[in-house]
Structure 1
Amino acid sequence: MEPNERMVKAKQQVAQHRREFSCREVDEPQGERVPPGQHLVNNFPVLDLGCKPEIVLAEWALHIDGCVANPLTWDWEAFQRQPQVQITADFHCVTSWSMLDNEWSGVKFQHLLESVRPLPEAKFVLFEAFDEYTTNVTLKVCNDEDVLLATHWNGRPLTKDHGGPVRVIIPKLYGWKGAKWVKKITFSERDQRGFWEVRGYSNTALPWDNDRYG
C-alpha cells in the first residue's frame, strides 16, 4: 500500500523548514495538562499517510521478533486471550492538537514484554504497520504502565480511521510514535529510525519539551 506522496512531501518540507530555522512553537503550556504549542479539541482528527488498509480479523496477526528469548505471533483469538486492561490518558498530536481523558482498552505492552522476554542487548523497539508505516521508540519508554496495544477508544472498538483493529498508544510521546494498524514489533540493539523520523521529525517526540522536529 503506497502512501500519498504529495502529502508526505508537504509534511517533510514543514519539518525541514522548522528544523533549519529553529521555528519551534513558543506558546506556554495551557495549564498542567496541555503541552506548549498545543490546543484542545473535542473530536478525534484522522491523520495517516493517505491510505487505510483493509484488515480482516480472521487474517490479522501480530508478529514479535528480534532480540527476544521467546518470539511469538498472536492471531486475533490469541490476542483476545491476553489480559485486557483499561487506561485513561491524554493524547498529543504533533500537528498541535490534544485530547484529554481518553479511555483506551487493550493489552499492556508490559504484558507483551513478559511474554517475549527481551534479551539484555535489546534497547530499541521498531513498530511496523499494515500500511507500511514504521516508527521507533526506546525499550525504556515502551516499558511503562500506560503504553498499550489498544483495541478500543472510549468504550468502542477502534475504527479503521483510527488504527483498528489494534494500534499502539504511548501517551507520553507525540501521537505519531503510536503506530496505527500495527502488525509487527521488532526488538533490537540498534536504533532504526521510522517513516517520519527519517523525514525530519524528532527521534524522541516529547510533547512537554516541544520536541517535534529533529
Structure 2
Amino acid sequence: MTKFLEELRRRIPVPEDRLPPGQVVTIKWPVLHYGDVPRVDTGTWTFEVSGLVDRPFTLTYDELLQLPRKSVQCDIHCVTRWSRFENVFEGVPVQLLLQRGGVQPEAKFCLVSAEQGFTTNLPLSDLDRPDNLVALKWSGEWLTPEHGWPARLLVPHLYFWKSAKWVRGLMLLDADVPGFWEQNGYHMHGDPWKEERYGGRGLSQHDINKLRNLSKKNV
C-alpha cells in the first residue's frame, strides 16, 4: 500500500466489517472508464431486455422514465481499490424489468450491454436482487455523462465494473459469457469481500498492471 493510501486510511477510519479487504475509502467519486465518454441522443436511445425471456421488449428513454422508481442507499467498491460509502441512487428496479420480460427457467446468466460495444456478465442470481437498479440519478441529481448518463446498471454488492455505465440492455442466457473486462482478465464474478479482482488464469504482474492502466484511462 502506498504512503498516500496509508494516510487516507488513517484519515477516514471505518468499521472493518464495512470495508472489503484491500479497499480504501474516498469521499470523492472517481471517474474511471476506458475510451471516450459517449455522446448519447435520448431521442434515439433504447434499452432492451432480450434472450431467454417470454416477452422481449425495448424501451425508449421516455418510456424508461415513466416506469416506477425506487431509491437505494449503498456502498460502492471499485476494483481499483477505492470505496465510497452511503451513496443514494434512484432508478428502475431490475426485478421489475425481469418480471416484465418473464424469465425462462433455462436462464442462469446475463450479458449486460452498454454503449460503444462494452459488455459485462452476471449470474442471474446476482442480477435478480432488490437493490439492483437501472440507475438514473445519484444524490438526487441526474447522473452526469462521466458517471453513466442517461442510465447505468447498479449492482452494489459486486465490484463496480459490474455496474455498467451507459447501459443499453440485458440479455439472459443459459451460459456464462465473459464481457469486455472479463475477456481482458477481470474476474467472472467480482465479489469484493472475496477480492475477486482478476481471473483465475494465473495473471502475471505485467497483465495486472495492464488492466490497471486500462481502467484508469480518462480519469
Do the structures match in fold with TM over 0.5?
yes
In the alignment, structure 1 residue 64 sits paired with structure 2 residue 49: yes
Deviation at 1:42, TM superposition (A): 0.7
* Counterparts of 2:188 and 2:71, CA distance in 1: 28
Distance 1:84 1:48 in 2: 26
The one-character-per-residue Cα deviations of 1:46-73 (angstroms, maximum 9, x if unpaired) are 1111211100111111011100000000
13, 20, 23: which one aligns with 1:38: 23
Task: List 4+ stretches of structure 1 deviating above 3 A.
Answer: none
Once residues 30 and 59 of structure 1 are traced to their aligned partners in structure 2, the CA distance between those partners, rounded to angstroms, is: 45
Match for residue 203 of structure 1?
Answer: 188
Matched to 1:93, the amino acid is C
Aligned to 2:204: none
Q: Say whether 1:105 aligns with 2:90.
A: yes
> Is structure 2 residue 99 aligned with structure 1 residue 120?
no
The count of aligned residue pairs is 186
* Consecutive unaligned residues in structure 1, runs of 5 or more: 1-28
Q: CA RMSD in A?
A: 1.0
Partner secondary structure for residue 57 of structure 1: coil
User: How many Å separate the matches in 2 of 1:30 and 1:98?
Assistant: 13
- Return the match for 1:139 from 124, 128, 132: 124
Cα distance, 1:39 vs structure 2: 0.3
**Secondary structure at the residue paired with 1:80?**
helix
For normalisation by structure 2, the TM-score amounts to 0.83
**Identical residues among aligned pairs (%):** 39
Q: Residue deviations 1:73-101, cap 9 Å, x none? A: 01011101111110101000000000000
Aligned to 2:115: 130
Tell me, in whole angstroms, the C-alpha distance in 2 between the residues paired with 1:188 and 1:207: 24
Q: Does the 8 Å contact 1:51/1:131 carry over to 2? A: no
Partner of 2:162: 177
**CA deviations over 1:125-144 (Å, ceiling 9, x no partner):** 01111121100001011111
